[in-house]
Amino acid sequence: MSLFLATVLLLGAQAAPTEEAVDPYTQNNANAGATAFADDAMWRAFHGREGVDRIVEAFVARNQSDPRIGDIFKGQDMVRLRRVLKEQFCYILNGGCDYSGRTMKDAHKDMGIQQADMGALVENLQAAMRAEGVDFRAQNRFLAKLAPMKRDVVER
Amino acid sequence: MIFSRFLIALGLIAAAPAYADDGRAGGKLLLTDGITTVEGAAGGGIATWAVIAGNETNRGIGGSAHATLVALPDFSLKSFGAAIGIHDRVELSYTRHVFDTRDAGAALGLGKGFTFGQDVFGAKVRLLGDAIWAQDSWVPQVAVGVQYKDANRDAVVRAVGARQDKGADIYVAATKLILSQSAILNATVRFTKANQWGLLGFGGDKQSSRTAQFEGSAGVMLSPSIVVGAEYRTKPDNLGFAEEDDSFDVFAAWAVHRNVTVTAAYADLGDIATVKNQRGLFLSLQGAF
């Protein structure tokens, strides 16, 4: 009986999402690549934590199934990607999170991302925000924070 | 020594497969290539912008084709042409104008249905800035361009006082998308001596050399595929026989599909060749890849 319970617990632990190890780096909110909004109006426009979670899940799923850019996500740590994206969006939208991921430059290093890939990414994010019912002007305010990341993300 | 290292580095870049010529089509966000202006360059309806025609980004070649009708009370202008965008850097365009004087042609002594035609060859180069992505900077995207125009009614344009039937406009355009406000702004200075966009020739009895003219546009994005806005364009007043007015329009551009944009505008072109109050509909269909 106790062996059975132990097995269930072990299986349960194995089924939980795990992240691959990354090289050590210094955690800092500055790594998020954008400053946070001054108040929580944007966080509310994105429907708080649940809304942002839904947007990130839909955004990642759209990117993975997008024939233009889906290959970029193959072999990447999607568990970690979802977590740090949620943190990053929450931090920028002033939802009270700290961002624990790497800088945009480090996180996208040697991926060979092109400008057109960024365009596809933005379209997928727009679709995810639209599906969540985020106001179009709020979408654009958020995209205005993300757009300058092109400089660090696009390599060619 | 430094030079030889530079050569080696160049050789490595040339040899790296990741830097092979893997150009690709598309990649721009909807409407960020503008629409085709009446003179064939990418921009608003009557104002030329610093954006480059076509859907390509820095790694591709794109282009567009357009057909435009400006239906005025006494005249109509048909414009059709094409543009090529190279690496989101260089734009080459050609547009053909057919200006129909309809009944006014008889009143002007030209004959009913007399048409003026014009070929417009354009080249534009993006110099600096990034209108779309550099949202943390106020620096606009800046481009310079030239439009060589050749009007086909040499005898008539000279008879009304124009100095030449051919001419070139030179312009500098600055465009910025203010994404946080869902707004797009453009300002262009054009050095021109064209009379009625060149349809009535270049230079005149009142003023024979180029003057600096202004084109301004302001638009608001209502959705990723719809922009509404207004434009103002000043024009030289070179000819003694008829005062030339500034132009104004309010427009709505709708990206019906990734590759198809429809633009409708209400345009006020003022008095044209002594015929008053030419206000009417501007309709343009554009395909881009």
Residue B12: what pLDDT? 45
Q: CA B47, CA B29: separation in Å to the nearest integer? A: 21
Q: Contact B222/A136, CB-based, under 8 Å?
A: yes
Q: Are B211 and B192 in contact (CB under 8 A)?
A: yes
Q: Contact A136/B58, CB-based, under 8 Å?
A: no
Nearest CA in chain B to A113: B18
pLDDT at B18 over 60: no
Q: CA A51, CA A44: separation in Å to the nearest integer? A: 9
Q: By C-alpha distance, which of B132, B133, B215, B218 is closest to B183?
A: B218
pLDDT at A108 over 80: yes
pLDDT tens per residue across span B49-89: 999 999 999 999 999 999 999 999 999 999 999 999 999 99
Q: Are B74 and B104 in contact (CB under 8 A)?
A: yes
Query: Within an 8 Å CB–CB cutoff, is residue A118 touching chain B?
Result: yes
Residue A33 phi, psi dihedral angles, 5° rounding: 80, 5
Interface test with A, best of B57, B181, B228 (most A CBs within 10 A): B57
Residue B5: what pLDDT? 53
Residue A16: what pLDDT? 58
pLDDT tens per residue across span A26-66: 999 999 999 999 999 999 999 999 999 999 999 999 999 99
Query: Within an 8 Å CB–CB cutoff, is residue B23 touching chain A?
Result: no
Nearest chain A Cα distance for residue B30, angstroms: 9
Of A76-80, B21-25, B97-101, B168-172, least confident by mean pLDDT is B21-25
pLDDT at B235 over 70: yes
Nearest chain A Cα distance for residue B42, angstroms: 19
In the block, residue with structure tokens 């048409």: B115
Q: What is the pLDDT averaged over residues B3-25?
A: 52
Residue B15: what pLDDT? 45
A62 Cβ neighbours under 8 A, 6+ residues apart: A124, A127, A128
Instruction: Report CA dihedral (B126, B131, B137, B138) to the nearest 10 degrees.
Output: 90
The residues facing B93 across adjacent strands are B83, B122
Confidence of residue A7 (pLDDT cuts 50, 70, 90): low
Q: How is B7-44 classified by DSSP, letter by letter?
A: HHHHHHHHH-GGGS----S-BPPTTTT-EE-TTSSEES
Interface test with A, best of B28, B133, B177 (most A CBs within 10 A): B133
Q: Contact B18/A112, CB-based, under 8 Å?
A: yes
pLDDT tens per residue across span B20-50: 456 788 899 999 999 999 999 999 999 999 9
Q: Are B140 and B50 in contact (CB under 8 A)?
A: yes
Confidence of residue B281 (pLDDT cuts 50, 70, 90): very high
Residue A9: what pLDDT? 52
Residue B1: what pLDDT? 44
Confidence of residue A17 (pLDDT cuts 50, 70, 90): confident
Q: CA A6, CA B1: separation in Å to the nearest integer? A: 67
Two structure tokens written together for B264: 């409708």
This prediction's pTM: 0.90
Q: Considering Cα of A119, then A125, then A129, then A131, what sign does the dihedral take?
A: positive
End-to-end CA, chain A: 59
State whether ipTM is beyond 0.85.
yes
Interface list for B 53-92 with A (CB within 8 A): 57-60, 88
